[in-house]
Amino acid sequence: MNNLLVLPVLVPMAIAVFLMFFRQKVGLQRIVGVVGGITNILIAAVMVYRVHSGGIQTLELGGWAPPYGIVFVADPFAALLVLAASITAFAVLLYSFASIDRKREEHYYYTAFHFLLVGVYGSFMTGDIFNLFVFFEVMLISSYALITLGGSGKQMREAPKYLLVNILSSTLFVAAVAYLYAAVGTLNMAHLSQRIAEVGQGGVLNVIAVLFLIVFSLKAGLFLFFWLPGAYGAPPFAVRALFGALLTKVGLYAIVRTFTLIFAHDPSFTHTWIAGMAAATMVLGGIGAAAYRDIPRILNYNVLIGVGFVAFGLATGTRDGMDGVVFYMLHDILAKGWMFVLGGMLIAAAGSDKLDQMGGLIRRRPGLGWMFFLLALALTGIPPLSGFAGKVLIVRGGLENGQLTLSLVALASSLLTLYSLIKIFREAFWGTEPDLMEETERGESSEEERAVGEDRSRPYAAQGGRLAGISAVLLLVMVIGMGLAANGVYDLASQAGAVLEHPGLYIEAVLKE
């Protein structure tokens, strides 16, 4: 019994409900949001500490002992993800203050934001597969609200497709749960794992496993990502940061959880599928990132590369690979949030999202420029930054397992990441400024912003500001800090990796046998 575990879900939910009644008072909404965000980081930190020192924590909701009741489980993996997610969410919240226009703020932006967090944290914490579905839906319905909020033409074109994809995958999720329940007669993840180990993972269970893989891949953007670049290009950048950092990671977390815990008994079948999908995702994502010339698409395809990389780590199935998965996912949550914040600031500074219309920004925004450069290095995995350790571990796991081709693909995708981001850096920050820029550059910055704000042909104009800078610097510090403290983080990550590799630990903690 440990009521701490329910707090990450409870705090944002209370805030979301509270803010519903004060939709006109934007100032109050912001303050409550900040307080809530800090509270959540603290809760998550305490949780990580407790899990680190005291092992896996569980909370039986309503006092129903598993496998009958719903159980919340904080194993090291989930606790670390909640921590990383709450830090990123806090930074994105700060960025929202700077970039989301007042009209959206008054129309329940923060309520939807916090409900989204409820879904994300809940998905990480729950130990029951149907409860996972429920938290997925909480998260998705909030994301529907966020993606449609504002109602611009582009959003209205992408949102119905986004909804359709997610409704279909949710429907398949319920179907998969139904089949699973028919096959083994339980819904508790630990119990599922035990029962599947007893009956052996034969043909029927493999079909169910693939069904789950399809469902989660649709949500994570693993291979079945056709909807992602379009849908993530529609909402404002703060929302994209939230989606790119958290939504895909929740899908990915579900894949990692189900395929290390529940369907872990026939890796030669399931993990081959995952490996293939991971490779395809990395290749296609890399090609997409290298080929496009507008910034939103490049960033969206970079999200996909990260997803492919984690899936590859899972597919290796080795201890190093698992540590790498944990490490890289933590890094990816922070770095992808950072990437979209910087992307949004860049586009705000340039007044356009096309690379061809940018140039010479380093003179006006040197800080932003160098941060972007660091971002490129971090996402590629240059040593002092946080991407390095995760990539090393995953690739080492791949080589250990004899997956030479896949490891090469993974490394090549890192190069494509570097290429695509340096392309932005080179063309947007260096080079000569196009004519478009010169006109606005002459004016005072405040006048410029006002002028641009009124200019409706530039939809991204309002996304700069000082708070955005603070948010970006916060994430920068986290990314560098995680890189420098890689040893300490590795301790935590390898504890999480151990649980992923030996699902017995998880089962023991939940069922207490």
Partner 1 sequence: MAIAVGVLFMIGVYLILSKVLLRVILGTSLLTHGVHLLLLTMAGLKRGDAPVLNGGSKTYTDPLPQALILTSIVISFGVTALYFVLAYRAYQTRGTDEIDDQDADAAGKEGAS
Nearer to partner 1, 156 or 477 (CB): 156
User: Does 16 engage in binding with partner 1 (CB under 8 A)?
Assistant: no
Nearer to partner 1, 151 or 366 (CB): 151
Residues in the chain: 513
**Shortest distance in whole angstroms from residue 172 CB to partner 1:** 8
Nearer to partner 1, 119 or 483 (CB): 119
Q: How far apart are CA 506 and CA 14, in angstroms?
A: 30
Give the residue, chosen from 164, 199, 404, 477, that forms a contact with partner 1 under the rule CB under 8 A.
164
User: Does 161 engage in binding with partner 1 (CB under 8 A)?
Assistant: yes
Cβ atoms of 131 and 9 closer than 8 Å: no
Helix (H) or strand (E) holding 301: helix 295-316
Q: In the structure encoding, which two tokens stand for residue 4, read together?
A: 């701490």
Burial label, 223 (beta-carbon count in 10 A; 0-12, 13-18, 19+): buried
Residues binding partner 1: what is the number (CB under 8 A)? 30
User: Does 42 engage in binding with partner 1 (CB under 8 A)?
Assistant: no
**Shortest distance in whole angstroms from residue 158 CB to partner 1:** 9
Q: How far apart are CA 435 and CA 80, in angstroms?
A: 47
Backbone angles phi, psi at 56, to 5 degrees: -65, 130
- Report the b/e string of 368-384 with b at 16+ CB within 10 A: bbebbbbbbbbbbbbee
Q: How far apart are CA 166 and CA 215, in angstroms?
A: 9
SS3 per-residue string spanning 2-26:
CHHHHHHHHHHHHHHHHHHCCCCCH
Nearer to partner 1, 170 or 270 (CB): 170
Encoded one letter per residue, x for contact with partner 1 by CB under 8 A and - for no contact, window 185-224 reads --x-------------------------------------
C-alpha 81 chain-centroid distance? 10
Encoded one letter per residue, x for contact with partner 1 by CB under 8 A and - for no contact, window 166-185 reads -xx-xx--xx-xxx-xx---
Give the residue, chosen from 6, 14, 26, 163, that forms a contact with partner 1 under the rule CB under 8 A.
163
Encoded one letter per residue, x for contact with partner 1 by CB under 8 A and - for no contact, window 121-160 reads ---------x--xx--x---x--xx--x--xxx--xx-xx
User: Does 65 engage in binding with partner 1 (CB under 8 A)?
Assistant: no
Name residue, tokens 């009958």. Answer: 68
Nearer to partner 1, 219 or 331 (CB): 219
Nearer to partner 1, 216 or 273 (CB): 216
Helix (H) or strand (E) holding 60: strand 57-60
- Where does this chain bind partner 1 (CB under 8 A)? 130, 133-134, 137, 141, 144-145, 148, 151-153, 156-157, 159-161, 163-164, 167-168, 170-171, 174-175, 177-179, 181-182, 187
